[in-house]
Amino acid sequence: MNNFLNKVKSILANRQKGSLALVENILEAIMAANPSKAELQTLVGELKKSEPAMVALHHLARELRKALPATEGQAFVRQYQQNWQHTDRQIAMYLLPLLPASPTPLTLLTHSHSHTVINTLLELHRQGRVGRIVQTRSEPGGEGALQARQLRQAGLSVTLIADEEIAEYIAKVNACLLGADQWTSKAFLNKTGSARMVELAGQYQIPVFVLADTRKKLTALQTTGINHSLFEEV
């Protein structure tokens, strides 16, 4: 197998990153390798075999399949990135007026690893609305530690806690931010532990905001074949 497809398989095997981070990694691999159209067709097949819960990867597969064979890989990436480049900032700006009013920067609780949550937090930080992040480890997998590290590297103050400590911290935060692997108008699918966070937030009347773009929107959640040790419906 060639280097490009080996790289693709390595990216898709990652269990630490959210689906949109994996999409970005796939796009970067296409730009770096400039694969043939035959390799891109193989990529579509690999994406379609990926974790059913991660519908952003399946969205990428559909978009790439539609673009082939007329479009070269690098041209596809440029168009795809152009279509979605402002999405996370738009989410952050939409969220800003919905956050609790406070004379001081907010303390926000988050869970797992989410490309959208990270970028939203960075924008909120630039706007002066975030003072501290409380981040769960998010077991199994512990990918919350990766998100905590990335946020710290970007200059945010982060407290990394065990999932079991949510009950201890929930009353100390202003709001909870969660990503989603899938969402509908009535429910969402995210990392296990999300439902417990939402439940506790409700008990303390802490608002919960679920951040995801339309690449992950479905008319009904697709839960057949998903890994239920990693994902749950909320």
- CATH code, 99: 3.40.50.10470
Look up the pTM and report it.
0.92
Which among 45, 61, 55, 48 has a CA at the least distance from the CA of 19? 55
Shared-domain flag, residues 118 and 212: yes
DSSP 130: E
Shared-domain flag, residues 225 and 200: yes
Q: What is the pLDDT of residue 108?
A: 99
The domain boundary, picked from 23, 51, 84, lies at 84
| Structure confidence by residue, pLDDT tens digits, 52-93 | 999 999 999 999 999 998 899 999 999 999 999 999 999 999
Shared-domain flag, residues 80 and 166: no
Given pLDDT bands bounded at 50, 70 and 90, which one contains residue 132?
very high
CA distance 159 to 3: 39
CA distance 63 to 81: 12
Segment 128-155 shows an average pLDDT of 97
The domain boundary, picked from 42, 57, 84, lies at 84
Contact yes or no for 18/112 (Cβ under 8 A): yes
Burial 104-115 (b: 16+ CB within 10 A, else e): ebbbbbbbbbbb
Shared-domain flag, residues 196 and 182: yes
Shared-domain flag, residues 204 and 181: yes
Whole-number average pLDDT of the chain: 96
Q: Token pair of 187, please?
A: 């429910």
Shared-domain flag, residues 101 and 194: yes
Shared-domain flag, residues 166 and 206: yes
Shared-domain flag, residues 14 and 110: no
| Structure confidence by residue, pLDDT tens digits, 22-37 | 999 999 999 999 999 9
Shared-domain flag, residues 113 and 57: no
State how many domains the chain has: 2
Angle at 72 between CA 41 and CA 61, to 5 degrees: 40
User: C-alpha distances in angstroms, 202 versus 40, 84, 156, 195, 199?
Assistant: 45, 32, 26, 11, 5
User: C-alpha distances in angstroms, 149 versus 42, 119, 121, 155, 162?
Assistant: 34, 14, 13, 10, 15
Q: What is the pLDDT of residue 47?
A: 97
Shared-domain flag, residues 98 and 203: yes
**Percentage of the chain with pLDDT > 70?**
100
Shared-domain flag, residues 124 and 211: yes
Domain that holds residue 220: 87-233
